[in-house]
Structure 1
Amino acid sequence: MADAGMTTTQGTATPTSPATPDGVMPGDGPAGNGNVSEAQIKKRGRDRLLRGLQRMSSSPSLPRAGRSRSASSPYSFSGALSCVSLGSAPSPLGQPNTGSYFSQASAAEGSSAHTSIPTSPIPESPSHDGLETMLAIRPVDAAALTPTTITLPARIKKKTKTFNLWVGMPHEVKIHVLSFLRPKELVRASRVSKEFHTICFDGQLWTSLDASEFYREIPADSLTKIIESAGPFVKDLNLRGCLQVEHYQRAEAMAKACQNLINATLEGCRNFKRSTLHTLLKANDKLAHLNLTGLAAVNNATCKIIANSCPQLEVFNVSWCKQMDARGVRFVVDGCPKLKDLRAGEVRGFNKLDVAESIFRTNNLERLVLAGCDTLTDVALQTMVHGTDPEIDYLTDRPMVPPRKLRHLDLTRCSRLTSNGVRALGHLVPDLEGLQLSGVTHLTDAALEPIFASTPRLTHLELEELPELTNAVLSQRLAIAPCAPALEHLSISYCELLGDAGMLPVMRACTALRSVYMDNTRVSDLVLAEAAAMVRGRAANASPAPRLPAVGLTLVVYDTPNISWTGVREVLSRNAEPPSLNAKKDKGKAAVPVTASSTTTTATLSPTPSTTTPTPTTSTTPSTTPPPPIHPTMPREIISLKCYHGWQMTVDEHTKRVLRGDLGAARRLERKWADFMQANEEAGGRGVGEGRGVDGVQKGMDGAGVYVMGFKG
């Protein structure tokens, strides 16, 4: 029990003043009512404040070296003092400064404000030992204020060094990143680690497996492992030329692994076993594209399995399969209602009418390739188009059957066909875009007339090795046909009766041509000149000229006796001419420069609309300043020419220079070559090439560097 004159604060006895009017601090009001005096209330508040300061002093942020008093403090003492009196000077009214805590503390300890001396030291209280030392002003060390580098803890540095983006990446993102690698690169990346090995052989990366790009470099075991790992995910499988799968066990493992194929190409797998092939076909009922070109394992039983197991089939290629015939094709045509593309080149048995009747009933085929089917007859072809005993329209003398949906028909080298069979296509294939009749030697003009008149979408036409065709079918039928503006490819090679009379109208009418094969025909230099003019006229109506020219037309005229070097030079000259200069040559008119005076006069004579504001009067004095020169531009399209092998080197070099935009060098080469050829003709074709020809021309070609010895002939 403490004495009546003592008050316990934080376990330490502190002397207090008696509760008399003298003990009350100056400036305080009268004591409150009750047993508790106003001095005791202030003592309790002072005790709470001291306890708060002690808690603050226990914080690690306050007792640090060099801590200075706040700049807002009204005291200014030397930093050398360790402890000073915080008592304030008496105010004029005789009241102490209430803003100082220690002034209140000195009053509570029995000192009167009227007798306290500001400079006298305050005795230290045992209960607050060390508090004044914490709050005292201490000297500041200049080194403590120097900026220092903040060092991260070792724990954070270690995390920064071991941060791995790949480890924290989701599995789906990893698969997407690796999907940009090619199969060969994926196999190489699988050697990095076990994780990479697992991810690189994930089936999602092998949905499309095209082994034709690397089949020569990958071992058979690795290829088998890839297909086994990714088999359930593979949808597009291309094993073209892969001889590694000839082993029975490897092929069997691949066939069992792949069960979701949509596109399958087994062309070139020559020793693929029949049982393995049948297992593969039975396990993939979603097949839409199947290429079995040249497989010896394919027979009519294979086609029957395809018809029963692959109802979604759209493209079927069994060309050069010697162990089957047209009956197998009939199974597939009848069992696959979605079939659109049938390729059965050099397959026997197409003279059977039941096969032709099946093709007629489907009417879904858009591409039919029967190249080399020498058993195809006129009756079978007519049955494919007309059916059996069709109803005839007496007005037009045409069968009344639905038109065929064929867009591409290839009857190349069907030697038993004649004009009677081919003529059946007229007016029944309106959507035809490609027609190949090369090698049908008995074909005449009468077979092509109805076809040209009823195929407005025809873009590709091949009529090679047709010795009975004449110029009339080109000039009077093809040139005026609805398909003439759309025709892009024309081949009349080895048609020995065709010449300028047929090809000149075609060159004028078929302005969309991109390639023309006229070798071993009777065309002459006139056709080359007309072709050059056609390309120039087509380019004039095209979009703005590109930075460099491009090949717009390919002409093949080698082994053509009527083509001379003059016609070749005409093509080279047109290729190297800017469009503006060529337009002047074509029109035969000189460009008239427009002066400023003529422009002013024209503007004066032209009526001024009433809605426009009047313009200020300009001077009509003729200007002597010439107009800016017209800079030549690059030609948009040029002709790529294949001609006599003795001239081909110069033609190729000339084309290279034009394509890279060096028109000046191309013109120099053309001029020097023309001088050489003319000198060679004057010398009778001999002597010039052996003497002055080679050395003289090479020195005068201005760096052309073209070998011209072959131009003697």
Structure 2
Amino acid sequence: MASSSSESDMSLDPETPLTPMADARASSPLGDRPKEKRRQRLLRGIQRISSSPSLTHIGRPRANTAPYGNRGTLSCISLAPTSPLGQNAPGTSTPGYFPSVPGTPAVEFPEFEGIETRLAPRKVANASMTCLNPGSVSLPQDLAATRPRSGAVRKPHYDFWASMPDEIRIQILSYLRPKELVRVSRVNKYFHKFCFDGQLWTRFDASEFYQEIPAESLAKIIVAAGPFVKDLNLRGCLQIEHHERAEIVAKSCKNLINATLEGCRNLQRTTLHSLIQSNDKLANLNLTSLSAVTNSTCKIISRHCPQLEMLNVSWCKHMDARGIKMVIRGCPKLRDVRAGEIRGFDNLDVAQAIFETNNLERLVLNGCVELNDEALKAMIHGRDPEVDILTNRPIAPPRKLRHLDLSRCSQLTSRGVEALGHFVPELEGLQLNGCRVLTDSALEPILATTPRLTHLELEDLSELTNEILSEHLAKAPCASRLEHLSVSYCENLGDAGMLPVIKKCVGLKSIDMDNTRIGDLVLAEAAAMVRSRAARTSARGSRPRIGLRMVVYDCSMVTWTGVREILSWNAKVRQPSGSKQPTYPTEVIGLKCFYGWQQTVEQHTQRVLRGDFAAAARLEQKWAHYMQAVEEAGAVGAGIRRRRRRAREAQMLHANEEEGGVAAAGRRRARTMAASCSVM
């Protein structure tokens, strides 16, 4: 008994240096197994009151290192409550529970308050697993699921779009097109508010989607952004034909600068007048082909649009030239007048008003069949001008015209057109298409006194001769600046007139010569001109561009050899002497020719433009062989059957090459060769 009591006293001696680790090793068969590092670090840092009596009054110095540097978890923790008498609470039974000695002082750890929120419980894969330490119990699974995870501090939600300044939002949305803005506006009310902000609708162009947008949506957009719209383009919008919708548009837009109503045929006259009256800042107004435009409309424009610079009333059949006169006199800044097919330009009062303003830079009178020589002279010289006795020319200030279109003014003759000479020094574009009675004398003074001329259209002037081209245009001061020339249907023009022009006018970008007498020499000279003016490159991957466009439809003197000359120079790869690197063209000629050859020409041009010069040269050679075989097959005499067979073979090879060489790898579609063509 004494020995047993002494052993009992020894086990309960508070000075016995027992630790929870030693207790665990003594009570567990796995005591020799080392614990995990995280658990050791945790047990060194935390001093807890164990339920074992052997740990009563045992103190341990606090660890110097931070025990919670890593993410540790508590797998086992003592949950047994202590009563004042050291007894178990009634109704509780805990396996392996050892009551503490009465009077055990409670140890406080203020420095670890809230530690349960920082240490996340370790997930228990098997709930029935027992803890290796008999002095503790495992954490209930329902409690482990409800405790927050360690380190998962949720940041408050940050609404990036709502926190952004309004200016940046508008700048981002400004990159969207009108259709995209309408789609984005459906996201929510917040986006709807910003998508219809007036700053995004200063320019409203409905020409891209006018066939898709309904009338209600169109009116809604204009009403929402109307006060901010400065550029309004409703070309072709027939949706606003309803009177109420048109009134909404007219009342909403108050700050227009540019307005295009071309094609709005059902626009009411009162609505149009209301729109013009409410926009006194209009600078450009396009009313092409509107039936609502009358002389009274022009009167309203002259009174309410003092800033107007451009007016287009072409094909407005319910007005005449008197309306143009009112606009010219009421709008001092007017520089551009387009009045195609308007009646009444034989009125000398209208011509005098045009002369007195002398601010017009563009005057388009195409199709004004009533314009005659007297009216044109009055526009340029004024009525009854004084004449200089030395030069025999009227004394009048030069006109500021830069573009003049007198196409299809059938009453004009050489006597009236030659009045332009010496009085339009800044002229850049002149169109005289369809004035069939004009001769060389009408153009001689104009070409000699217009050094800035870049566009000249003389289509369907059957009275012109080669002399006007070779002696006047080729030697004119504008020869080096000329970019566009059209002499189509001038049946008297041929190689004698065009060759000097192509040699001297080295800046040409387009030539229309269909239905003329030009031949292969002109095509060869054009190829040489482009070759000489364009620099070549040694970069293999570079792609050329079209530098000259030529139209030679219905030219009976142009043969396939001339067309081949163009194709050959387009795909020419040179090997300069003394250089190892070949050079490639940077400019080529785009050709429109006889429809039977056009498919080959287009295929050849496509290969050249994508940089495949070898394939283009191969196509040109096979096409030449085919054309030679066709010519031989048409000859009479001995060997006609052999020549026809060669022509058929050349035709098949050429067809294979036009298809990109696909048929070269296999047999072409079967066909009856004898019945394919009556000639072949």
Bucket of the pairwise TM-score, normalised by the shorter protein: 0.7 to 0.9
Q: Equivalents in 1 of 2:511, 2:387: separation in Å? A: 38
Residues 682 and 163 of structure 1: is their aligned pair in 2 closer, same or farther, counting only changes over 3 Å? same
Structure 2 counterpart of 1:167: 162
Runs of 5+ consecutive residues of structure 1 not aligned to the other structure: 1-63, 69-80, 84-132, 582-590, 594-628
Alignment of 1:242-391 (within 5 A): 242-391=237-386
Matched to 1:565, the amino acid is W
Q: Equivalents in 2 of 1:556, 1:405: separation in Å? A: 32
Question: Contact 1:680–1:712 (CA<8 Å) still a contact in 2?
Answer: no
SS in 2 for 1:167: helix
Alignment of 1:487-636 (within 5 A): 487-540=482-535, 547-580=542-575, 591=577, 593=578, 630-636=580-586
Matched to 1:197, the amino acid is H
SS in 2 for 1:226: helix
Question: Contact 2:536–2:585 (CA<8 Å) still a contact in 1?
Answer: no
Matched to 2:630, the amino acid is N
Residues 215 and 433 of structure 1: is their aligned pair in 2 closer, same or farther, counting only changes over 3 Å? same
Question: Contact 2:544–2:587 (CA<8 Å) still a contact in 1?
Answer: yes
Structure 1 counterpart of 2:67: 144
Q: Equivalents in 1 of 2:589, 2:678: separation in Å? A: 21
Task: Give the C-alpha shift of residue 695 in structure 1.
Answer: 2.7
Q: Equivalents in 2 of 1:456, 1:386: separation in Å? A: 20
Q: Equivalents in 2 of 1:154, 1:700: separation in Å? A: 72
Give the RMSD, CA atoms, in angstroms: 3.1
Question: Contact 2:373–2:415 (CA<8 Å) still a contact in 1?
Answer: yes
Structure 1 counterpart of 2:594: 644
Structure 1 counterpart of 2:52: none
SS in 1 for 2:170: helix
Matched to 1:684, the amino acid is G
Q: Do residues 412 (structure 1) and 369 (structure 2) align?
A: no
Residues 158 and 429 of structure 1: is their aligned pair in 2 closer, same or farther, counting only changes over 3 Å? farther
Question: Contact 2:340–2:365 (CA<8 Å) still a contact in 1?
Answer: yes
Alignment of 1:678-693 (within 5 A): 678-684=628-634, 687=644, 691-693=648-650
Task: Give the C-alpha shift of residue 545 in structure 1.
Answer: 9.6
Q: Equivalents in 2 of 1:433, 1:299: separation in Å? A: 32
For each residue in 1:472-525, what CA deviation from the matched residue of structure 2 results, as whole angstroms up to 9, or x when unmatched?
A: 000000001000000000000000000000000001000000000000000000
Matched to 1:316, the amino acid is L
Larger Rg: 1
Q: Percent identity?
A: 61
Q: Equivalents in 2 of 1:163, 1:655: separation in Å? A: 57
Question: Contact 2:293–2:319 (CA<8 Å) still a contact in 1?
Answer: yes
Task: Give the C-alpha shift of residue 467 in structure 1.
Answer: 0.4
Residues 544 and 257 of structure 1: is their aligned pair in 2 closer, same or farther, counting only changes over 3 Å? same
TM-score, structure 2 as length reference: 0.75
Alignment of 1:107-126 (within 5 A): none
Task: Give the C-alpha shift of residue 564 in structure 1.
Answer: 0.2
Q: Equivalents in 2 of 1:243, 1:508: separation in Å? A: 51
Q: Equivalents in 1 of 2:538, 2:335: separation in Å? A: 37
Q: Equivalents in 1 of 2:539, 2:494: separation in Å? A: 35
For each residue in 1:13-66, what CA deviation from the matched residue of structure 2 results, as whole angstroms up to 9, or x when unmatched?
A: xxxxxxxxxxxxxxxxxxxxxxxxxxxxxxxxxxxxxxxxxxxxxxxxxxx984
Structure 1 counterpart of 2:607: 657
TM-score, structure 1 as length reference: 0.72
SS in 2 for 1:331: helix
Structure 2 counterpart of 1:40: none
Residues 470 and 206 of structure 1: is their aligned pair in 2 closer, same or farther, counting only changes over 3 Å? same
Question: Contact 2:482–2:507 (CA<8 Å) still a contact in 1?
Answer: yes
Question: Contact 2:254–2:278 (CA<8 Å) still a contact in 1?
Answer: yes
Alignment of 1:25-44 (within 5 A): none
Q: Equivalents in 1 of 2:285, 2:271: separation in Å? A: 15
Task: Give the C-alpha shift of residue 692 in structure 1.
Answer: 3.0
SS in 2 for 1:516: strand
Q: Do residues 461 (structure 1) and 456 (structure 2) align?
A: yes
Question: Contact 2:185–2:193 (CA<8 Å) still a contact in 1?
Answer: yes
Task: Give the C-alpha shift of residue 177 in structure 1.
Answer: 1.1
SS in 2 for 1:392: coil
Matched to 2:292, the amino acid is A
For each residue in 1:211-233, what CA deviation from the matched residue of structure 2 results, as whole angstroms up to 9, or x when unmatched?
A: 11111111110100111111111
Structure 1 counterpart of 2:175: 180
Residues 253 and 697 of structure 1: is their aligned pair in 2 closer, same or farther, counting only changes over 3 Å? closer
SS in 1 for 2:590: strand
SS in 2 for 1:553: strand
For each residue in 1:197-245, what CA deviation from the matched residue of structure 2 results, as whole angstroms up to 9, or x when unmatched?
A: 1111111111110011111111110100111111111100000000100
Task: Give the C-alpha shift of residue 172 in structure 1.
Answer: 1.9
Matched to 1:274, the amino acid is R
Matched to 1:222, the amino acid is S
Matched to 1:354, the amino acid is D
Matched to 1:465, the amino acid is D
Residues 378 and 701 of structure 1: is their aligned pair in 2 closer, same or farther, counting only changes over 3 Å? closer
Q: Equivalents in 1 of 2:194, 2:68: separation in Å? A: 56
Alignment of 1:190-205 (within 5 A): 190-205=185-200
Structure 2 counterpart of 1:93: none
Question: Contact 2:366–2:405 (CA<8 Å) still a contact in 1?
Answer: yes
Task: Give the C-alpha shift of residue 144 in structure 1.
Answer: 2.5
Q: Equivalents in 1 of 2:630, 2:474: separation in Å? A: 39
For each residue in 1:506-560, what CA deviation from the matched residue of structure 2 results, as whole angstroms up to 9, or x when unmatched?
A: 0100000000000000000000000000000001389999811111100100110
For each residue in 1:122-149, what CA deviation from the matched residue of structure 2 results, as whole angstroms up to 9, or x when unmatched?
A: xxxxxxxxxxx9xx97163999265228
Q: Equivalents in 1 of 2:511, 2:540: separation in Å? A: 24
SS in 2 for 1:512: coil
Aligned with residue 482 of structure 1, among 477, 484, 497: 477
Question: Contact 1:82–1:137 (CA<8 Å) still a contact in 2?
Answer: no
Q: Equivalents in 1 of 2:250, 2:244: separation in Å? A: 10
Residues 688 and 145 of structure 1: is their aligned pair in 2 closer, same or farther, counting only changes over 3 Å? same
Structure 2 counterpart of 1:694: 651
Residues 197 and 146 of structure 1: is their aligned pair in 2 closer, same or farther, counting only changes over 3 Å? closer
Runs of 5+ consecutive residues of structure 2 not aligned to the other structure: 1-42, 48-54, 73-117, 121-147, 636-642, 669-675
Q: Equivalents in 2 of 1:411, 1:157: separation in Å? A: 81
Q: Equivalents in 1 of 2:395, 2:353: separation in Å? A: 18
Task: Give the C-alpha shift of residue 704 in structure 1.
Answer: 3.5
Question: Contact 2:543–2:610 (CA<8 Å) still a contact in 1?
Answer: yes
Matched to 2:590, the amino acid is S
SS in 1 for 2:155: helix
Matched to 1:654, the amino acid is H
Task: Give the C-alpha shift of residue 578 in structure 1.
Answer: 2.4
Q: Equivalents in 1 of 2:186, 2:679: separation in Å? A: 61
Task: Give the C-alpha shift of residue 710 in structure 1.
Answer: 11
Aligned with residue 421 of structure 1, among 392, 416, 421: 416
Q: Equivalents in 1 of 2:172, 2:216: separation in Å? A: 26
Structure 2 counterpart of 1:116: none
Question: Contact 1:457–1:483 (CA<8 Å) still a contact in 2?
Answer: yes
SS in 1 for 2:160: coil
Moved more, 162-171 or 304-313: 162-171
Give the number of equivalent residue pairs. 543
SS in 1 for 2:67: helix
Q: Equivalents in 2 of 1:201, 1:288: separation in Å? A: 25
Residues 569 and 165 of structure 1: is their aligned pair in 2 closer, same or farther, counting only changes over 3 Å? same
